[in-house]
Amino acid sequence: HPDVYERAVLRKPQQKAFGVTVDLWSIGVTFYHAATGCLPFVPFGGPRRNKEIMYKITTEKPRGAIAGVQRQENGSIEWSYELPITCRLSAGLKDQLIPILANILEVDQEKCWGFDQFFAGTNDILHRIVVDVFSLQQASSHRVYIHSYNTTTKFLDAVFKQTNIVPHHQEYFFEGHLYELDPNLQAHNFCRTTESSPLTLLSTSEQPEDVVGVRYRDPALEFPKFTPKVDVVADCSSAKSALGAAYQTLRLGRALRSGRELLARGLHWKSLCSPRSPARGGFLPLDRFSCRKIHFLSSLRYEAAPAGSRGPAGVEVVETRLQRVDEELSQCSHSIFDFQGALDGILAELVKDRQQVHEDKRFVVEALCLLAGPVLVEQFPCQAQPLVPPHTRRARREQLNLGNLAKKVVSIFQNECVQQYQEALALHSSRMRKVCEIKKHLKRLSNRISACSVEMMECQDCMQ
């Protein structure tokens, strides 16, 4: 807090007493540090070396800002109103936490929250339940924090806030089945979800959604640089940093693998599920529905005008109309079976993709690398003692081993995990575009078949 900093660090005399804002400020800094792994306010060179700028950052912080960083000497302050991308908290939890941080990282006592408001805000988060959602078209995972008494309507609005998919275009699947949510259903009656078993969200809009995927910071940037000089204390610190970066890399690799599995599984479920109404966005059920309708209308045609029958001129007109309808239905039937073939091809690819994800053992290699990490860390005693030549050579050898291990972990992540995930995203995007186009064509076919149905019924009425 600037008041504490002014007295304890800058050594400036003060006459005012420390108020509740000092305690809340400390809590806010602790929350931010725990959530992100870094301090919210950092001048160039660090707070210990650049004390005056540190004080300036805390006193001139704009309303609502939760972080301020000076990246260049004598440079401007970059204010942030959001948690950084490196923060591992979900977007849903960030939305709940940011308003609390903004209101307790406040110097002005008139604007800063009191403890009553702080505890009310934190307890509000603790009393919420979490619903995990995976947006299929966007290839993104979300965690929705809502109260147990909130209804489906509130839940759909919360999902819209994170995905920009409007509530009336949201369709859900769970464990291979269509999951219909009653508007008045309370959240505590929802199915129990986890990150590996979420509600799968599909947009029924005819416009394709942009692919988002897993957002992350390249873990290669987190690995320390190893210098040729042997320094036991520095090498020990580097070993610990490298081990932490390696575990972060493993976590990201697992997240990418999980994303691939959710992509293949979600589209496979959608392909197998049969909504009650073709208009609800189903693409496979529509062709079966249409084929049954075609057969029914064709039977009406032959009932209305049996082959070889003759009658007055009015009957011949009806016969001509029925002939055109029959040709139209025949074209629709061929188109539907063409689309069925394309969808069957996608379905076969999805089955193959799911098997490939389950059989992917590349993470075993990375895990073995990480298991060697603690051993290497133990080989760097954190003692500032001079080394005799044999020990120096050994320390240099272990330093090289640690550097090679870090390079191997990064190489596996970038050349295998990331590459496979990017390929899966590109393939998924292509499949979703195909599915979107097929849905549009099938919708037009459904309208054509409905028009044929009306025409058939009119002809049947004329024959009676």
Low-confidence ranges of the chain (pLDDT < 50): 274-290, 309-311, 364-365, 368, 376, 382-389
Please list the residues that pair with 132 across neighbouring strands. Answer: 143
- pLDDT given at position 61: 87
Distance in angstroms (rounded) separating the CA atoms of residues 342 and 438: 9
> Is 269-462 CATH 1.20.1270?
yes
pLDDT attached to residue 274: 43
* Amino acid 405: pLDDT: 78
Q: Would you state the pLDDT for residue 211?
A: 85
Per-residue confidence (pLDDT) for residue 306, from 0 to 100: 54
Greatest distance between any 2 Cα atoms in the chain = 116
| Cα separation, 106 vs 29, whole angstroms | 11
Domain 128-203: state its class: alpha beta
What is the per-residue pLDDT across 403-425, written as a single tens digit (0 to 9) for each?
777 788 888 888 888 888 888 88
Cα–Cα distance for residue pair 253/455, rounded to 1 Å: 58
pLDDT at 2: 64
Residues with Cβ < 8 Å from 150, sequence gap 6 or more?
186, 187
Coil vs helix vs strand at 64: coil
Q: Kind and range of the H or E element at 42?
A: strand 41-42
Q: What's residue 249's pLDDT?
A: 84
Strands of 102-224, DSSP E? 128-135, 140-147, 170-174, 177-178, 199-203
> Which class is domain 2-113?
mainly alpha
Alpha helix ranges (H) inside 105-231: 115-126, 152-163
Please give the angle made by the CA atoms of 395, 396 and 397, to the nearest 5 degrees. Answer: 90
Question: Both tokens of residue 50?
Answer: 């650049």
Report H helices in 14-80. 20-36, 51-59
Spatial CA neighbour of 298 closest among 327, 278, 318, 277: 327
Q: Where are the domains of the chain?
A: 2-113, 128-203, 269-462
Sign of the CA dihedral with 372 first, then 374, 378, and 379 last: positive
Question: Are residues 151 and 142 in contact, defined by beta-carbon separation less than 8 angstroms?
Answer: no
Cβ-Cβ contacts under 8 Å for 262 (sequence gap 6 or more): 134, 139, 141, 198, 200
- The span from the CA of 400 to the CA of 89, in Å, is 35
CA 239 to chain centroid: 32
pLDDT reported for residue 237: 76
Cα–Cα dist 121/114, whole Å: 11
CA distance 430 to 424: 10
Structure tokens at 333: 């039937």
First to last CA, the chain: 90
Give per-residue burial for 34-68: e unless 16+ CB within 10 Å, then b: ebbeeebbbbeeebeebbebbbbbbeebeeebbbb
pLDDT value for 85: 85
For residue 403, count other CB atoms closer than 10 A to its CB: 17
Residue pair 204/352 in contact (Cβ under 8 Å)? The answer is no
Which of these, 443, 445, 429, 437, lies nearest to 343 by C-alpha position? 437
